[in-house]
Structure 1
Amino acid sequence: MALLSPRPPAFLAINEPENSLHRQMFPALARLIVEASRYSQIWLTSHSAELTELISSLAESQIYELETAAVRPESEAEKPAARRAL
């Protein structure tokens, strides 16, 4: 997996990493993504609000939500929900 590469790329695009993964593994996946973001710029697409909230709670991130062709940044009010899940 590119997240574990000894030579991390400058940019990494990840499409729906939660697919085929049990939700109990989301915290570990979120930590892995955050660790990889120390070395690479990461662009991630996901249908899982839980995963994106976990990532956001672990590191500074920019989350954009697409709803019927409108993009909006995640609000500060939405961030605390993920912290409770940890």
Structure 2
Amino acid sequence: MDELLKKIEALEARVKVLEDARSYVGQKLKNFYCNGAFGRVYDLEDAEIIIDSGLRIEVRTTEGYYRWTEFENYEEKHTDLAIWLTGVEDDE
């Protein structure tokens, strides 16, 4: 029974890793500033995510510039991207 529980825990851990690894490549930002995560730039609206590598993403702006940012953890990444990709803030 203990061995079965260990296998279940291992499978649950793998599922968590896969959930955290979902890709945002190809999606476009709807927020022009993104809370300053990419620096003091204001050209991020409609920028396309071209690289999604763990806690780092890189985007290409409509003007052809490349910008990147890193997140502290996956929760922050998913929360911020949920806002940036929809253009809807939590308090709206």
**TM-score normalised by structure 2 residue count:** 0.27
Answer 1 or 2: higher relative contact order, Cα 8 Å, separation at least 6.
Answer: 1
**TM-score normalised by structure 1 residue count:** 0.28
Larger Rg: 2
